[in-house]
A and B are shown apart, each in its own frame.
Chain A
Amino acid sequence: MPSYQIYPISDQAVTLDFGGPISLETNDRVHMLLAALIKNKLAGVTDIIPAYNSVTVAYDYMTVYQCQLKNENTVPVYTFIKNWIENNISQHINDIELSKSEIIIPVCYDKCVALDIESVAEQHHICIEKVIELHTAKTYRVFMNGFLPGFAYMGIVDPAIQTPRHQSPRPLVEAGSVGIAGVQTGIYPCNSPGGWQIIGKTPLALMDKNESILLKPGSFVKFNAISLFEFEKLNQQ
């Protein structure tokens, strides 16, 4: 039995789903498969989208049809793409080595920008300093991007500070706000409505003028606590 499910999510996209809860091991498989698919690229594939435990291949039907199948009109394009993904799993995924490079993100945990840090600390019966210590202690994996351009879903947050998202989202969370939601932590790349518990803010821009993003899927991230003074100094640059 294969340890995954594979199915069409549209007539131009196929998802391979490894199943299970959020885990670094499964997400490693996701990024190994992603790397294998990019390496052994196929004409007509338009997007390869990693998520926590799945990889979705979106394709242009006509290009795949014309390049691969025009003369052997027997296999649906869906089956052809499915076979291509499965071949990469069985033959190429184990050749992949994932990069371990780390991005350091300065974060100010001062109450005036960390709107929820006090209540997070209270809910877990710990002091604010402990929240900061636990949030900065770990190296996080960027599991995937989604929600907004450049929004990185990262984890896994220490169980001692895991906090569910707000019942109803705030109408405005400012760009750079660092939040937690259950096992996940993330940074809002732009002003947006949002329901995550805001425990800090970074002065770094997560996306530049050319729409190049800082936190790409598969990267590793570590947070470095800075003072409000440093935050304001960096923010002005």
Chain B
Amino acid sequence: MSIQIIKAGILDSLQGLPSIGKQHQGFSPGGSMDTIAHAIANALVGNKRDAIVLEMHIPAAEIVFNKETLFTFTGAATSATLGNETVYSNQPIIVNAGSKLSFNARANGARIYIAVQGGFILKRGKLQKNDVLLTVQSFDYHFEGVGQLHALTTGWTANTGEFYRSNVIRCIQGPNFNMLSNQEIDLFQSKSFEIDIQSNRMGFRLKSEPIQHTIPPELLSTAVTKGTLQLTPSGQVIVLMADHQTTGGYPHIGTVITADIASLAQLPIGSSFGIVWIGIEDAETLLLLHETNLQQLENACKFRLQEYFSEK
């Protein structure tokens, strides 16, 4: 199976989960910006969580399926046009060979994820028009010549609402939090941060009133992570995202909790949010809750797919 890009989007790429084990050599973990949408997309088509998906920014690419398959889309788009029909997000969809899929520019987030049965074979870099994306062969579910386009398990949609929030991003305090002035510490949580146009997969620049801070001590580079909030000398905040460098020398004032990274990854350029501080133990509790809910959703997806295909 393969799909072809017939019209390139602004930034389309194939992504896995963040890679591990090579950050000490300077390799960024990379991977999908929104790992929740990534995981749900894979679950909906019966893939393992780490299968490769297509990540698209908005405006998104237009694609054509070269063979019938099972696919889904999650993340920023709620609907798409498949041939002449409208199809909806977070549902497994059986599609015929030759069908075209396109998205309109209105979106409910910043990034769309497409998973196909078996998963894509990784190809690095920005995708171009006419690129053909091959998939791993899968023998899990069989179907052929479905005759007409239709969404599988009509009426069943994975509910993803509980994984996202839009107004407030929760963070733990970082090692250089004490660089903020006392007045700033009082004000920080009532400030509004806007995602600047100079934001990308490496990091988001946040526009806000300048953060009042003391002169930084001489800081040596240390490791940073996805979600690290760096304070620049001019008092602006940068939050590091999937393609971040592995080490950094800017003051590290806080870190977005893992449970809220997907929400942040779906905030489009120009949108605003607030930051609240929570403790490490609360961050862990929320991570565990999110992961438990995600695993439940993955199991539900698996169960639905098995049920559907055993009835065929």
Binding site for B on A (CB under 8 A): 5, 7-13, 15, 17, 21-22, 34, 46-54, 56, 58, 60-62, 65, 76-78, 144-151, 153, 211, 213, 216-217
Q: How far is the CA of A107 from the CA of B220 in the complex (A)?
A: 27
Chain A nearest CB, measured from B203 CB (Å): 14
Closest 9 CB pairs of A and B: A146-B247, A56-B223, A46-B20, A145-B26, A11-B283, A49-B223, A47-B23, A10-B255, A52-B220
Residues in chain A near residue B21, CB distance under 8 A: 46-47
8 A-B pairs with CB atoms under 8 Å apart are A21-B218, A48-B24, A51-B220, A54-B222, A61-B284, A65-B288, A149-B25, A217-B24
Does B146 count as interface, using CB distance less than 8 angstroms?
no
Residues in chain B near residue A77, CB distance under 8 A: 284
Q: How many A-B residue pairs have CB under 8 A?
A: 126
Q: How far is the CA of A214 from the CA of B110 in the complex (A)?
A: 38
Does B172 count as interface, using CB distance less than 8 angstroms?
yes
**A58-B23, A147-B247 in contact; A51/B172 too (CB < 8 A)?**
no
B 268-290 binary contact with A (CB < 8 Å = 1; else 0):
00000000000011011001100
Contact present for B287 and A11 (CB under 8 Å)? yes
Residue tally, chain B, CB below 8 Å to A: 37
B 26-52 binary contact with A (CB < 8 Å = 1; else 0):
111100000000000000000000000
Surface stretch bound by A, among B74-82, B97-105, B206-214, B224-232: B224-232
Contact present for B26 and A51 (CB under 8 Å)? no
B 234-276 binary contact with A (CB < 8 Å = 1; else 0):
0000000000011100001001011000000000000000000
**A12-B258, A146-B245 in contact; A49/B284 too (CB < 8 A)?**
no
**A12-B258, A144-B247 in contact; A153/B23 too (CB < 8 A)?**
no
**A61-B288, A76-B281 in contact; A10/B221 too (CB < 8 A)?**
no
Q: Which residue of A lies closest to B294 (CB)?
A: A62
Chain A nearest CB, measured from B26 CB (Å): 4
Q: How far is the CA of A148 from the CA of B172 in the complex (A)?
A: 27
Residues in chain A near residue B26, CB distance under 8 A: 145-151, 213
Residues in chain A near residue B144, CB distance under 8 A: none
Contact present for B222 and A213 (CB under 8 Å)? no
Chain A nearest CB, measured from B147 CB (Å): 42
Q: How far is the CA of A21 from the CA of B220 in the complex (A)?
A: 8
Q: Which residue of B lies closest to A19 (CB)?
A: B220
Contact present for A53 and B220 (CB under 8 Å)? yes
Contact present for A9 and B23 (CB under 8 Å)? no
Does B307 count as interface, using CB distance less than 8 angstroms?
no
**A17-B222, A49-B246 in contact; A9/B20 too (CB < 8 A)?**
no
Residues in chain B near residue A34, CB distance under 8 A: 24
A9-B228, A78-B281 are known; give 20 further A-B pairs, CB within 8 A.
A9-B222, A9-B224, A10-B172, A10-B257, A12-B258, A13-B223, A15-B222, A17-B175, A47-B20, A47-B21, A47-B23, A49-B246, A54-B220, A54-B223, A58-B20, A77-B284, A146-B26, A147-B26, A150-B26, A213-B25
